[in-house]
């Protein structure tokens, strides 16, 4: 169950859903009904990830690509936090 990262409330509204082509996840922007914090989630289907591993060496690169992609999103998020805390 997804909770608000700010107040742990489970009352959330989904604003936007993005399916990026060639990725194994669905990206959703959500807003907390309690504290109005907006945040995003990236939902992976484990089956999709398992498929990447199962398909062999080349798809392991895809999986690594997925991880790199995730890390770059996180890095961007951390930069935003740092900027907003100044």
Q: Is residue 12 near Zn ion by the rule CB under 5 A? A: no
What's the token pair of residue 52?
A: 């990447």
Among the listed residues 2, 3, 7, 73, the single contact to Zn ion using CB under 5 A: 7
The strands making up 12-19's β-sheet, listed across from edge to edge, are 12-19, 25-32, 38-44
Q: Does residue number 9 form part of the binding site for Zn ion (CB under 5 A)? A: yes
DSSP H stretches of helix in the chain: 46-54, 57-85
18-47 binders of Zn ion (CB under 5 A): 32, 34-35, 37
* Contacting residues toward Zn ion, per CB under 5 A: 4, 6-7, 9, 32, 34-35, 37
């Amino acid at each position: 169950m997804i909770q608000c990262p700010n107040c742990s409330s489970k009352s959330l509204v989904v604003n936007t859903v993005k399916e990026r082509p060639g990725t194994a996840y669905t990206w959703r922007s959500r807003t907390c009904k309690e504290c109005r914090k907006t945040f995003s989630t990236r939902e992976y289907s484990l089956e999709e990830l398992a498929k990447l591993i199962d398909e062999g060496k080349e798809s392991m690169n895809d999986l690594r690509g997925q991880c790199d992609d995730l890390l770059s999103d996180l890095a961007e998020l951390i930069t935003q936090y740092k900027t907003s805390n100044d």
